[in-house]
Amino acid sequence: MKRGLSLITKMSLATVFTVGLFLAVGLVTTFSLNELKSQVHQLTAQTLSALRTVEQIRSDLRNQRTLLYQALTAESTSEARQIQGELSDNSNAVQTQLKALSSYTDLKYQRTAQSLTVSLEALAQEDAKVLALVSKKETHLAKLALSGADEQAYQAVRSELLPLIDRASQDLAAADVSLGHSMDHISQLILGAIALAFLFGLVSTVLLSASLRRRFKGFLSKFAQGAQGDLTIQVTNAGHDEIGLLAKNLNDLMTILRQLILAVQAGAEKSRRQGGELSSHATELSATAVQMGATMNNISNRIQNLRDTIDSAFTSVNDITQLVEQTVPQIERQSSAIGDASSAVEEMAASLASLDETTKLKRKLSDDLAEAARQGEEDMAETLTSIDAIAQSAEVISEFTRIINEVASQTGLLAMNAAIEAAHAGEAGKGFAVVADEIRKLSEATGANAKSISTSLNDILKRIQQTKEISQTTGSTIEKMLSGIEDISQAMAQMEGSIAETAQGGRLLSDTLTNLVETTRLIKQDAQQMGTKAERTREAMEIVVQMAEANASAVAENSAGISEVANSVSELARIAQENAEFTAEMESEAAKFKTS
């Protein structure tokens, strides 16, 4: 049967669709929130920056007014000149803030910046007039101008700045209101998605429940027919899911039950026929039992004659067994003595072989040790060469340190000359004096570091010399050790030859004793086989006697069993009659089922 989507799969698909819907809403919501956050952040940042710019312009204008009043009361020309410089710097700062305000993307800030530029130019002209009067020592006229036209220009600039501040505050409030509306819209979107997902889940559940109720109703109807004995029922159109699989299994069960009932009916018919045949066979079996009784009596007489012949043969076998048992212990004592001698020789040969292997191993170890000593001597020579190279490199580094000291000394002289020139330059040479002081500090630090490096190099050279002396001593020791190891290796080679000759003689003796042991073992084995065969013959005769006695007992039991067979035949006839009655009853019950 074609397998369709299972119930679990359908439920899973509905769940996946619902989760996907929630995920889509979540993604849309996240994207909207990020976009809104970016817009609000941009608007807020621009508005706050505009507020800071306007406040800075106001602060610079107040500072400019203060400087103008200070210019009116200046007591000296240098003080007035200094105030004019500060006024110029303040005016430049205001122009910079205006440029920043003009760079904003909002058109209202750009238009305000243009209008402020015109007003500030008018204010700058009035300030220039006041400064001109101050420079001519016409203080009274300057005060009148400062409180007259200049003050009007200043108030005009302030009147343009205050609405700009109010407008920026309104922008911040509008951004807050826009954010609230957007959050309300997103909340409505989320609630709508939840309602849609709930509605989808409810509809899916109702449809699935209705489908299950309809299909199970057909199942209950078929089960009711089957309970009444109708085995021909078949559930159709059950689908391709778990319920369809259940319907298929029910159809298979009905088919199996139908075949089983048909088989029971056929078996009952066959059993009825066999019951009649069983009755006729029981009669024939009774006649056969009488004939078997006469045959059993004849077999009993023949078994008695066989037992007398076996008793005579059993006596001869016992005599052979006793003779073999006397010979085997003597052979065993001889074999034991030869085995002990062979074991001793084998142990000696094994000891010699072990000693030979040990000697070879020790000789190899001494050769390896000599080779390692020679390699160590070569490595020590290379080490001494490397130490000499390191010492030469350290001397080169020491020469570099001396050069660094000379450079540091020259740098110190240069710093001192620079400081003298800076002192001659006076106020204009202050910056150069700072540079000269830094050069002097660098020279002192370089000299200190060079001195520290020189000290460390001297210590390294001393330790290199000590290492060289120790390495030379070690090389001499390795040469002496190499000579001793070579003497040991030669002695081990001589010992190895002597042990090998002794081991060869032990092996020849062991082979001879082994051949003798093998010959004795074969003799012992032949004697044991003879005894074993005699024992087996005696055991076989005992078994034959036991079998004869068992046959006699079996014949007696068979005679008694034949009479029991006759009784069993009568019982068998009675059972055949009961089987016929049971078969008829079974045919009646099987006929109640509908199979076609």
- Note whether 104 and 34 are same-domain residues: yes
Six-digit token string for 143: 């005060």
In a domain, 241, yes or no: no
pLDDT value at residue 334? 62
Q: How large is the average pLDDT for residues 59-64?
A: 76
Q: How large is the average pLDDT for residues 109-113?
A: 64
Query: What's the rounded Cα separation, in Å, for the pair 350 and 328?
Result: 32
Indicate if the pLDDT at residue 447 is higher than 60.
yes
In a domain, 50, yes or no: yes
pLDDT value at residue 126? 75
For the stretch 381-413, what's the b/e string if a residue is b when 16 or more beta carbons lie within 10 angstroms of its beta carbon? eebbeebeeeeeebeeeeeebeebbeebeebbe
In a domain, 233, yes or no: no
% of residues, the chain, pLDDT over 70: 46
Indicate if the pLDDT at residue 7 is higher than 60.
no
* Residue from 359, 356, 363 nearest 487 by CA: 363
Q: Which domain holds residue 159?
A: 7-217
CA angle (225, 228, 234) in 5-degree steps: 30
Residue 153: which pLDDT band, with cuts at 50, 70 and 90? confident
Indicate if the pLDDT at residue 2 is higher than 50.
no
What's the pLDDT tens digit per position in 255-286?
777 777 777 767 767 766 766 666 666 666 66
- Note whether 319 and 458 are same-domain residues: yes
pLDDT value at residue 325? 67
Last residue of a domain, one of 169, 186, 217: 217
Indicate if the pLDDT at residue 388 is higher than 70.
yes
pLDDT value at residue 105? 54
In a domain, 236, yes or no: no
Virtual torsion, Cα 156, 158, 164, 165, nearest 10 deg: -160
- Note whether 190 and 337 are same-domain residues: no
pLDDT value at residue 354? 73
Residue 465: which pLDDT band, with cuts at 50, 70 and 90? confident
CB 173 within 8 A of CB 146: no
Q: Who has greater pLDDT, 296 or 89?
A: 89
- Average per-residue pLDDT for the chain: 70
What's the pLDDT tens digit per position in 357-375?
776 776 677 677 667 767 7
CA 92 to chain centre: 67
Q: Nearest 5°: phi and psi at 381?
A: -65, -40
Indicate if the pLDDT at residue 89 is higher than 70.
yes
In a domain, 558, yes or no: yes
Helix (H, G, I), strand (E, B) or coil at 75: coil
First to last CA, the chain: 24
Residue 342: which pLDDT band, with cuts at 50, 70 and 90? low
pLDDT value at residue 1? 45
Question: Considering its fold, how many domains does the chain have in total?
Answer: 2
Only one residue has tokens 């303040």, namely 90
* Residue from 387, 375, 351, 385 nearest 507 by CA: 351
Q: Who has greater pLDDT, 10 or 69?
A: 69
% of residues, the chain, pLDDT over 90: 0
- Note whether 183 and 300 are same-domain residues: no
What CATH number should be reported for the domain holding residue 306? 1.10.287.950
Indicate if the pLDDT at residue 62 is higher than 70.
yes
Six-digit token string for 430: 């202050």
- Note whether 54 and 163 are same-domain residues: yes
What's the pLDDT tens digit per position in 528-571?
676 676 677 667 667 766 776 776 676 667 666 666 766 676 67
Q: How large is the average pLDDT for residues 89-99?
A: 76
Q: How large is the average pLDDT for residues 48-69?
A: 73
In 10 A of CB 440, how many CB atoms?
A: 18
pLDDT value at residue 53? 72
